[in-house]
Structure formats: C-alpha cells, structure tokens
C-alpha cells in the first residue's frame, strides 16, 4: 500500500450472499486525480458523477459497492450516487465533492442506499493501511479472487510506490478499462500530467483485453496521487520512470482479469505482426479474440487453426491469405496459408494444453503490429451467466 492511503471493505447487505460488498479508499491528504471511463453510451450514475467531480483535479476518497450497478436507474440513481458519496464524506469529515462513487453489479435495480448509510460508521472505523485486501474483495462480483498489485520506482534516489486494485471477470471488452480499477500512488503530480499518462497505460493494458466481447456500463479507472513520497512528477526521467511502472502495474492487472474470466481455464495472447497498419492488426486481434468458435476450440484444446484464419479473414483487415503463417508459441501450424501437417498439429495441441500461450499471426504485409489478451469459453461461462440474477 502507498504512503498516506488507507482502505477497508465490509458487508453491508447489498449482496444476498452476505459477502463483502462495500469498500472505501481514503488518502490522508488531498490527492491529484485523473480518470478514464466507459465509452458505452449507457453509463451508470456513479460514472457520470465521477466524470464531473474529477474536473476539480483533486480528491480524497473513493467509495465503491458491488451487488448493484446503479445503472439505468434514472434521476433516483443519480440522487443515490450523490447520497452515497455524501454519506461517506460525512463519515470521514471531508468535503462531499472530494468523494468519488463507483458501483458494479446488476443493472436496472435501485441502489439500497439505506444499507450503505447503516454500514458507513463501521466501514470508516475499519480503515487501515492493511485494508486493501478487504476492499478488493468488497468490489468483486463473479470474480473468484481479489486482484491487487504494488510496484516501486526510483527517481533521483527517492522511492515512489504505485498500488492498484481491480475487479472484473465478465462483461469485459472494455473500450477503455476494466469494470473497476483504482490506482494509488505517493508521487506528486498535476492532474493534467496524470490524465494522459493514465490514458496511455489503459490503452496498453485494459483496452487490450476481452473475455466475452461485452463493454460494461460502469467501467471506471481512477488514479489518486497524494505526493507523500516527496517526488514531484515533471518532465524528464521522472515522467518516463513513472509511466513505465504504471504500465507494468496495469498490464499485470489486466492479465489477472483475463485469467479470472468467468469459467476461464486459459490466458491467451493474440499477436498480429507484419500487417499493413496497426489498425489492421488490431482488427484481427479482436476478431480472433472475441470469436466464440476460436474460444471454444481453445477450451477443447483443439488446434483448429481454420477458425483463427476465418476470423482474420472477416475482420476487415487487408492481407494476402496465401502469405499468412500462424504459430502456437514456437510451433508453426500454418505456413504460407497452408496447413503445416499432422506433426505440427500434434505439437500445437500440446501447446494448447498449457494454461498460458500465444497465438501469432504473421501477415507478411507491412510493419503494423498489435497484441491483446483473451481467454477460452468453457461450459462454466454459460452456467455463471445463466444464473447471474437468480
């Protein structure tokens, strides 16, 4: 955990199963803030409120709940988001506009703010520098495990820390971020410096993952920088070092999200190289990564390269099919658009038995390249989502 931050998570009764469902992160001092949010046209009340509040450039706290998305809830939903933040501010003794709300869970149901109000005294009392694990569990929905990571960097002999926590296992094809991610750092920075750096890191991490091709209505990534390390982020070495650490933290969290995808058994990196452009490479990566036929073949450990080739062909990217090579890690199963033979397929099948591997598609068509991460589709994915509200 970074200097000057505390966190907590408790059960407020929002979840029917009695699990942790309400979390709080607080900075001891006002922190510079930046955020990236869902591009879904349907946006939850807390997303809209957060987008407005971060324009001030500073924040002290984040309050987040699971079990209810507070989305498609009309004027009452916005009033509930405001009240949720106001209650947290009162419990903490800080200004209301310094609290950022976030929610995740079922869409379309009113948020039981009364339960949040009743739980807030205990939640505030539980705040601790060691409370991030409880917070991480409090924001989980279909996640099977909490997702946290902390890394350090060094500038001019001083050390700074970046700590982040995320949740996400389903409705993941972000087009900005995962469902919820909160980044804390003890470096000092202007909000105008943080915003493009956060956006760049999100593009390298959460914008490159997909579990099921669905973009959430509640996607929120926030970064709070309270400056307690004594390092001020400015041009030169400090910027590059901080960007490198931030990128590493968010990429690792993004992989954690895919590994914990609903029913997932495999983490697969899709790499497209030598495309006519980066945009063409990106089209192929996400068409392959979101293909149900590809994802079910991955679950079945079936080296069905034809599904990969067909997905690439319908992506809209321009390439010569007779020049394409396809690899599973270091095994080439397609050479110049043709099957490489049964021996290569047997080796590729063994690759597919691993929990993590790469699919590399070489178009031999230019300098464009792109990569992203996906998972397989298992029988459990259907079961989890068929029973989600019942």
Catalytic amino acids? 178
* 147 beta partners: 166
- Cα four-point dihedral sign 236, 241, 247, 253: negative
Q: Is 13 helix (H, G, I), strand (E, B) or coil?
A: coil
Q: Is the dihedral of CA 289, 140, 73, 109 positive or negative?
A: positive
DSSP 55: G
* Burial group, residue 387, by CB count within 10 angstroms (0-12, 13-18, 19+): exposed
Query: Measuring CA to CA, which residue among 352, 260, 342, 345 is closest to residue 297?
Result: 352
Owner of token pair 């922190």: 31
The residues that bridge with 381 in the sheet, in sequence order, are none
Beta pairing partners, 361:
272, 326
CA distance 50 to 81: 10
* Phi, then psi, of 77 in degrees rounded to 5: -60, -40
d(Cα 143, Cα 69) in Å, to the nearest integer? 15
**d(C-alpha 40, C-alpha 49), whole Å:** 15
Interacting residues of 216 by C-beta distance below 8 A, sequence separation 6+: 38, 40, 104, 171, 172, 174, 179
């Amino acid at each position: 955990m970074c200097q000057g931050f505390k966190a907590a998570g408790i059960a407020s009764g929002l979840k029917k199963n009695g699990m942790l469902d309400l979390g709080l992160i607080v900075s001891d001092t006002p922190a510079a803030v930046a955020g990236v949010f869902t591009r879904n046209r349907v946006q939850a009340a807390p997303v809209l409120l957060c987008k407005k509040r971060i324009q001030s450039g500073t924040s002290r706290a984040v309050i987040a709940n699971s079990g209810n998305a507070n989305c498609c809830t009309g004027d009452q939903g916005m009033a509930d988001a405001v009240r949720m933040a106001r209650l947290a501010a009162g419990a903490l003794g800080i200004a209301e506009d310094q609290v950022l709300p976030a929610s995740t869970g079922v869409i379309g149901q009113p948020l039981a703010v009364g339960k949040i109000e009743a739980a807030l005294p205990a939640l505030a009392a539980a705040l601790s520098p060691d409370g991030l694990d409880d917070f991480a569990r409090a924001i989980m929905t279909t996640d099977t495990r909490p997702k946290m990571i902390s890394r350090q960097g060094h500038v001019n002999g001083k050390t700074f820390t970046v700590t982040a926590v995320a949740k996400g296992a389903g409705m993941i094809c972000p087009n900005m971020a995962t469902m919820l991610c909160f980044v804390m750092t003890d470096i000092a920075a202007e909000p105008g410096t943080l915003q493009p750096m956060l956006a760049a890191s999100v593009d390298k991490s959460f914008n490159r993952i997909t579990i099921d091709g669905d973009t959430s209505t509640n996607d929120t990534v926030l970064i709070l920088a309270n400056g307690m390390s004594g390092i001020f982020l400015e041009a030169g070495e400090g910027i590059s070092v901080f960007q490198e650490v931030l990128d590493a933290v968010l990429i690792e969290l993004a992989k954690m999200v895919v590994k914990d995808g609903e029913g997932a058994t495999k983490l697969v990196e899709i790499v497209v190289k030598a495309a006519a452009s980066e945009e063409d490479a990106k089209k192929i990566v996400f068409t392959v990564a979101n293909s149900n036929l590809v994802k079910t073949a991955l679950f079945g450990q079936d080296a069905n390269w034809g599904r990969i080739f067909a997905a690439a062909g319908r992506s809209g990217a321009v390439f010569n099919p007779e020049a394409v090579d396809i690899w599973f890690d270091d095994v080439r199963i397609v050479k110049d658009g043709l099957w490489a033979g049964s021996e290569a397929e047997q080796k590729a099948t063994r690759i597919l038995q691993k929990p993590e591997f790469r699919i590399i598609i070489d178009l031999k068509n230019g300098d464009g390249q792109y990569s992203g991460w996906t998972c397989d589709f298992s029988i459990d994915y259907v079961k989890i989502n068929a029973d989600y509200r019942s």
